[in-house]
Structure formats: C-alpha cells, structure tokens
Amino acid sequence: MSNLKLAVILGSTRPGRNGEAVAQWVLARAKERANADYELIDLLDHPLPHLDEAVPASRGLYAGEHTKAWAARIKEFDGYIFVTPEYNHSTSGVLKNAIDYLYAEWNNKAAAFVSYGSLGGTRAIEHLRAISSELQLAHVRQQLSFSLLTDFENYSVFKPSATHDSAASVLFDQLESWAGALTAVRS
C-alpha cells in the first residue's frame, strides 16, 4: 500500500508570524514518520480573496481559477494538520477563509490541530473542531498547544518544551490511523 499523503497547513500569513517556526517544527517531526508523507501548505502561497464564490462550496460548482487551484491542492491529501494562531479567541481569518472555500475536498478525511498563543491557543482549536465537524473532517483527540510564555523566548523565538515531543508522536499516530481508515470510506 502506498504511503498516506498528509499536509501541514500553516494558518498564519502575518509579517513576522510565529506560525512558520511552529509549522516547521511539526513538519520536521512529521518527516520522520514511516507510513505517511507530509508536505507543508503555506497559505502565503495560496493567496485567496475573501470568499468570492456565488454558490456554496457544498455544491461543488467552483467558478474562480483560484478556487479550482486551491481545491486541487487540498484534494491531493488524506488528512491535515492545521497549525493555527489564536486571534481574539479564535483561529485566524485567513485560515477560516481558506477552509470555507471548499467542501468535498475536506470530507471523510482526518484532521489534527496544533495551536499557539499567549495561553496556548486552545480556543482557536475548539472553534476549528466545530468547523471540522460541519465539514465531515474527522478530528483526532490529541492536540499540541504552545504557549508564548513558556515555549517561546521573548514571545518570538520558538523554543518548545521537550514535553511536546511525546504528544506529537501520539498526534501523528492518531491522525495516520484515522486518515488510513477513511480512505475506505472515500472509495
């Protein structure tokens, strides 16, 4: 059986973003996994306007070339790790917008979440869990949450505590298990 294909989606595009270091940390560990191939999707590389599709994504009638390109990119994967900042007790607008563009491409796949923020960003993950449920995107229990106070120096240099390593292994195990199982549902 071929390896699962999983994406680490970097959900922050702010100049000077902390998200890039967090996503690269996740990707480096993901690359050590034997049964899945992980790639980074940086939303900076997929500049999408505020949702400009006339028809709801659930109908699958995409009009814009940017939507079709985004859909083709997301469709490639069996599952996703969303790396999200916490902005005003939620996820970022840019990530929510990118998610809203699509529907079928997310369905019956697996998702895991990594957050960061002053208090770890867990409120962003809670919102993403509700969004994922609506998209039939199966979200695993294990999550990673990095605090600006204890996992960063000066709120900007990423120095994660070693305790996150074992949680990351569990997250990958759970994500790959569900991503593999859901391939049968999609076929």
Ligand X SMILES: Cc1cc2nc3c(=O)[nH]c(=O)nc-3n(C[C@H](O)[C@H](O)[C@H](O)COP(=O)(O)O)c2cc1C
Which C-beta is closer to ligand X: that of 110 or that of 114? 114
Q: Are 7 and 41 in contact (CB under 8 A)?
A: yes
Smaller CB separation from ligand X, 18 or 67: 18
Q: Which is nearer to ligand X, 5 or 17 (CB)?
A: 17
How big is the chain by its Cα radius of gyration, in Å? 16
Size of interface with ligand X, in residues (CB under 6 A): 16
d(CA 24, CA 81): 12
Site for ligand X contains 31 (CB under 6 A): no
Q: CA–CA distance from 183 to each of 4, 74, 161, 179 (Å)?
A: 9, 15, 34, 7
Phi, psi of 113 (to 5 degrees): -130, 140
Measured from the CB atom, the residue of 74 and 114 that comes closer to ligand X is 114
The Cα–Cα gap between 180 and 187 comes to: 12
Please tell me the total number of residues recorded for the chain in this structure: 187
Binding of ligand X by 151 (CB under 6 A) = no
- The secondary structure element, H or E, covering residue 30 is helix 19-30
Output the residue with the shortest Cβ distance to ligand X.
Answer: 85
Shortest separation between residue 141's beta carbon and ligand X, angstroms: 22
Q: Which is nearer to ligand X, 67 or 145 (CB)?
A: 145
Maximum separation of any 2 CA atoms in the chain, in Å = 48
66 to 85, contacts with ligand X by CB under 6 A?
Answer: 85
Residue 59 within binding range of ligand X, rule CB under 6 A:
no
Q: What's the min distance (Å) between Cβ of 157 and ligand X?
A: 11
Binding to ligand X by residue 89, rule CB under 6 A? Answer: yes
Residues that bind ligand X (CB under 6 A): 12, 14, 17-19, 85-89, 116-119, 121, 148
